[in-house]
Amino acid sequence: MAENQTCTVIGGCGFLGRHMVDQLLKRGYKVNVFDIRQTFQNDKVSFFTGDLCSQQDLFPAVSGVGVVFHCASPPAASNNRELFYRVNYIGTQNVIAMCKKAGVQKLVLTSSASVVYEGTDIQNGNEDLPYAKKPIDYYTQTKILQEKLVLDANDSEHGFLTAAIRPHGIFGPRDQQMLPVTVEMAKAGKMKFIIGDGKNLVDFTYVENVVHGHVLAAEHLQNGSVVCGKAYNITNDEPIYFWTFLSRLLQGLNYQAPTIHLPYYLIYYIALFVQIICFLLKLFIEIKPSFTPMRVALAGTHHFYSCERAKKDMAYKPVVSLDRAIEITLESFQHLKNK
């Protein structure tokens, strides 16, 4: 089906992007990668390097291409307001403009399920929930702006079709965020505590399932399809207690699982207080606390999402179960094992 179809993965050297590349090649696509720097070599891939905010840099990478996957973003943890705005908002305007100029037919954005999350419980939330009025951080704020841009750009009349995939808590081999941060905190002795009662359910999504959601979206983006201009939650469809998931990762790498319960609001307000102090001290010294209010909220509330819409509109079904996904991920992170 994808024989000779050329696509471009913007952010194709990142964690998700590189998994996208592997899967697209397996499915017979010809693949271009556009990223700010090239971090791997593959003879089957055409690499383009540059800043996605630059017309000159981006245009050659999307020329002669049918589908563009936009998976680039500054890391959520970077906390750089200007950078998020420039890359996620202004940069995405440039992505849309360059796609249109080059005659690209389909654009699939990697958004985030967190665009509806305000730091309080979401249980089985679907895509009809309104965007967060008070997003938890600048990253999420600009993911909202970005998603709106891409969905509004859908224009069936002129043959430019768009969709957004909203994954949540992506993990898997080569992840730089979830597992490495968790292990780093365990090494620093910061993983002894469970924030809250430990019974908050969260979606953690294996990277291959996220890739599958993107590919399905691209393949279902046809004139007249319900997928056009829509956002889709993509999860493992197996919400798990946040602390059970983290404990499985930690124990799988020979670290102790957290056992001591601390009250959620106490930790949340301490994290908020520490954040304010760090902000005030910023002129003199840069301190990066591990327990930010955002992380405490993510660790202590329910946030899991329904992917019924993706199942109905594009026959989405996770391809790798959570158990298997954890197994594969742990195998790939043996170098982080506690000796």
Ligand X SMILES: NC(=O)C1=CN([C@@H]2O[C@H](COP(=O)(O)OP(=O)(O)OC[C@H]3O[C@@H](n4cnc5c(N)ncnc54)[C@H](OP(=O)(O)O)[C@@H]3O)[C@@H](O)[C@H]2O)C=CC1
Ligand Y SMILES: CC(C)CCC[C@@H](C)[C@H]1CC[C@H]2C3=C(CC[C@]12C)[C@@]1(C)CCC(=O)C[C@@H]1CC3
The percent of the chain in helix, strand and coil, each rounded to the nearest 5, is: 45, 20, 40
Using the rule CB under 6 A, give the single segment among 25-33, 55-63, 151-159, 174-182 that binds ligand Y. 174-182
101 with 88: CB under 8 angstroms? Answer: no
How many CB atoms lie under 10 A from the CB of residue 230? 20
- 36, 53, 76, 83: which one contacts ligand Y (CB under 6 A)? 76
Using the rule CB under 6 A, give the single segment among 8-16, 220-228, 274-282, 318-326 that binds ligand X. 8-16
Judged by beta carbon distances under 5 to 8 A according to partner kind, the member of ligand Y, ligand X, none in contact with residue 160 is none
11 vs 135, which CB is nearer to ligand X? Answer: 11
To the nearest whole angstrom, how small is the minimum distance from the Cβ of residue 222 to ligand Y? 28
- 9, 31, 52, 216: which one contacts ligand X (CB under 6 A)? 52
Does the protein bind ligand X through residue 172 (CB under 6 A)? no
Binding mask 260-279 for ligand X (x = CB under 6 A): --------------------
Does the protein bind ligand Y through residue 247 (CB under 6 A)? no
To the nearest whole angstrom, how small is the minimum distance from the Cβ of residue 235 to ligand Y? 11
To the nearest whole angstrom, how small is the minimum distance from the Cβ of residue 336 to ligand Y? 14
C-alpha to C-alpha distance for 233 and 79, rounded to whole angstroms:
24
64 with 6: CB under 8 angstroms? Answer: yes
How many CB atoms lie under 10 A from the CB of residue 318? 21
Does the protein bind ligand Y through residue 262 (CB under 6 A)? no
248 vs 295, which CB is nearer to ligand Y? Answer: 295
Where are the alpha helices (H) located in 6-135, listed in sequence order?
15-26, 55-62, 81-84, 91-102
Residue nearest to ligand X (CB): 14
Residues 6+ apart with CB under 8 A from 281: 287
Does the protein bind ligand X through residue 313 (CB under 6 A)? no
Judged by beta carbon distances under 5 to 8 A according to partner kind, the member of ligand Y, ligand X, none in contact with residue 37 is ligand X
Strands 303-305, 122-125: pairing kind: parallel
Distances, alpha carbon 220 to alpha carbons 120, 146, 205, 224, 330, in Å: 33, 21, 21, 10, 33
Residues 278-337 that bind ligand Y (CB under 6 A): 291, 295, 298-299
Does the protein bind ligand Y through residue 14 (CB under 6 A)? no
Among 264, 259, 254, smallest CA distance to 302 is for 264
